[in-house]
Every structure is written in C-alpha cells, then in structure tokens.
A = this chain, B = another copy of it.
C-alpha cells in the first residue's frame, strides 16, 4: 500500500565505517541514525569527494546525496542548491587547508641547526597539505571552476599575495635577520619557494590528475629546496 511499510531496515545502505565495537552485545541497538547536525557535515564531505572527482558540472546532486547517505531534498534543505553547496564546501575546505598550511609554516624553526633539512621538512609538510584530498580540491576545483565562480577566488585567496605566502615570508624574513638567508624581498622569496616546491609537485602531477609516487615527490622537493637555497642561502658562495 503506502511506501513506508517497513520503515526500518530498508534504509539503502550507508556503509558507515562505524569504528566502534559493533559486537553483538551493543547495549543500544541504535541504528545508523546519526544526529541531525551531522548530516550537514556528511553532505559537505560527500560534496567535497564528488565535486573533486567529477567537477562541478558533472557532479550530480543525486550522487552527492547518495554518497552522503541522505535523500536529495535533504541537500536542498541544508544548502539552498547546487551552487551554494559548492560554495560552502569550497569555503570550508579552504579554511581547513589554510589552517593546515599555516600550521606547517609555523613549525619551521626560527634558528634551525640544519637549514636545508628544515626547509625540506617544510616542503614535505606543505606537500602533504596540498596533496590532502581536502585541500587538493582547492587547487583543482578552484582552477577548474574559477571562471564561473570568480568571487570564490577573491574569498579564498586574497587579491595579491595570499596569507600563506605572507606567513612564509615572515618566517623567511626572520631567517634573513638571523643571517641564514639573503633575499632582496622575502615575499618574493616565499612565492618562489612555493613555486619551486609545491608548485612543481602540482605541475608534475598535472594538478592531481596523475598520482605522484613518493620517490618522485622527494626528488622534486629536494630539487626545489636546493634551487631555493642556491638562490637565497646566505652562505651560497661558499662558507
């Protein structure tokens, strides 16, 4: 008769990794019914995955909803539509990515014993940030859809140098003041550091289209840091 005869057990699937002990003696047989507020996050996560995999146009709201384990209108209840969902997903991902990048930069010591090793470590940390699917979508989807969402660019990256570049520039300036680096312009040096390390990684991986192997990643980053130090190390002419 009606379409809701057995409300239980016919929920489509929801893999729902559920790392908790799902042993037979679970007290509360609570089904997968996760809290209401978590659905919003589930949709955002699913949107990240699907948008990153398919691109904006090819991504179907059906697919996102299915990936999130909700019905399609639920997406429209939480977010207004496909575009708003995309925007909020990008923005939240941007924040996460920026924070992780800033943290990576923050971990750069001001007075390192081995400058090369520390810069290499920074490059690796940043590369991890950039290769995190969560951030990867920024480098991929922003480029992909930037022409159609021009305002997203303004919100995510600043107008000129981004906050991340400025953060690194500050660190590099400290290293310069400490006599370890010799740069005409720390901001420019920071930009070039990114260009030589994470930028090269993205270029070589074709913005994530081709997975980069660990060895290749190491080589790229080592080469980038080496060139950077050839250009800006205070003792680059022997010492």
A83: which B residues are within 8 A, CB to CB? 1-2
Let me know if B57 and A210 touch, CB within 8 A: no
Instruction: Flag if A147 contacts B230 (CB, 8 Å).
Output: no
- Taking residues whose C-beta sits less than 8 angstroms from the other chain, chain A's interface range is 35 or more
- Please, what's the 1-or-0 string for A117-153, where 1 marks a CB less than 8 Å from any CB in chain B? 0000000000000000000000010111111111001
Please name all residues of chain B whose beta carbon is closer than 8 Å to the beta carbon of A238 when the two chains form the complex: 237
A144 to B206, CA, bound (A): 10
Please state the number of chain copies in the assembly: 4
CB neighbours (8 Å) of A143 from chain B are 140, 143-144, 206-207, 209
Complex Cα gap A238–B182 (Å) = 14
- Report which A residues bind B (CB closer than 8 A): 1-3, 7, 10, 53, 55-58, 81-83, 140, 142-150, 153, 157, 184-185, 188-189, 191-192, 195-196, 199-200, 203, 206-210, 223-224, 226-228, 230-232, 236-238
A147 in complex: contacting residue of B53, B153, B236, CB < 8 Å:
B53
* A185 CA / B227 CA spacing, docked (Å): 11
